[in-house]
């Protein structure tokens, strides 16, 4: 819920009062002072009431409807397990214009293929999932490992469940069996097997065991 407060700047308010008081032709300065004092007190009271309203609304929005500790949840589709989510704490903020779930103490997800084998993993220190748009945002030390053992590290990642893709515009590091790649963003399919790195900053080639054997010969 958004609350708009149309507050008049104190200087503008004082000018407004001063100009309008010139319309009075009474010479009683005490009368004028009383009018000014009454208007100012009324204005301050109104501001206080508005701020109280904002505080109550904010407090309400910060209270989860449901909290679950040490959660373990399996998500199925067409009688097949798609992923398994574990989290130390889940806070459910349903019943709002933007119902969402927060994972304040981190999250771990195992992704499964059609044969019920784990083909990827995701870890993050914080995450939030928006129910209406089926979008999850993972933050702080985000790590993904795919079935080939390739690893992605970044500080923020979005998982679009509806379109089955993940993406970020933050700095990324990807480690494969042969190299480490640095870039400014990434777009990938859901299981992180087909990805495109945005603005590659650099690449480091890694020595493989086969290369070491060739050097010894």
Terminal-residue alpha carbon distance, the chain? 70
Q: Which domain holds residue 57?
A: 10-61
Quote the pLDDT of residue 104.
96
215 located within any domain: no
Give the three-state DSSP class for 192.
coil
- Same domain, residue pair 53 and 88: no
| 90 and 104 assigned to the same domain | yes
Distance CA 20, CA 18 (A): 6
* pLDDT of the residue at 37: 52
Predicted confidence at residue 61, as pLDDT, reads 56
- Domain CATH for 78: 2.60.450.10
Tally the residues of the chain.
217
Residue 42 has a pLDDT of 54
Whether residue 99 sits in one domain with residue 51: no
Residues 71 and 127 in one domain: yes
pTM given for the model: 0.66
- CB-side neighbour CA atoms (13 Å) of 34: 5
Q: What pLDDT sits at residue 113?
A: 86
Q: Where a domain ends, among 61, 78, 102?
A: 61
Angle of helix 29-61 relative to helix 10-21, nearest 10 degrees, comes to: 150
Rounded distance between C-alpha atoms, residue 151 and residue 165, angstroms: 16
Binned average pLDDT, 10 residues per bin, the chain of 217 residues: 36 40 47 53 48 41 86 88 93 87 96 88 96 94 95 96 93 95 94 91 81 54
Element (H, E) at 90: strand 80-93
Q: What is the pLDDT of residue 23?
A: 44
179 forms bridges with which residues in the sheet?
205
Of the residues 46, 61, 76, which one is the last residue of a structural domain? 61
**Spatial contact of 75 and 82, defined as CB atoms under 8 Å apart:** yes
If one counts the domains in the chain, the total is 2
Strands (E), 125-212: 126-130, 135-146, 151-160, 165-168, 172-175, 179-189, 195-205
């Amino acid at each position: 819920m958004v609350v708009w407060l149309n507050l008049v700047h104190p200087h503008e308010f004082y000018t407004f009062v001063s100009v309008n008081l010139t319309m009075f032709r009474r010479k009683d300065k005490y009368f004028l002072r009383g009018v000014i004092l009454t208007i100012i007190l009324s204005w301050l009271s109104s501001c206080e009431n508005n701020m109280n309203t904002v505080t109550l609304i904010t407090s309400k929005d910060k209270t989860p409807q449901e909290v679950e500790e040490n959660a373990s949840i399996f998500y199925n589709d067409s009688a097949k397990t798609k992923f398994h989510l574990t989290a130390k704490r889940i806070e459910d903020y349903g019943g709002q214009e933007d119902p969402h779930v927060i994972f304040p103490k981190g999250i771990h997800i195992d992704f499964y293929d059609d044969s019920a084998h784990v083909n990827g993993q995701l870890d993050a220190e914080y995450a939030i999932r928006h129910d209406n748009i089926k979008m999850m945002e993972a933050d702080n030390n985000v790590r993904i490992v795919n079935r080939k053992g390739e690893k992605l590290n970044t500080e923020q990642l979005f998982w679009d469940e509806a379109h089955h893709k993940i993406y970020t515009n933050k700095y990324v590091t990807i480690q494969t069996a042969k190299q480490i790649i640095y870039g400014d963003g990434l777009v990938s399919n859901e299981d992180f097997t087909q990805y495109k790195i945005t603005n590659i900053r650099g690449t480091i080639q890694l020595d493989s065991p086969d290369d070491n054997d060739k050097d010894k010969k």
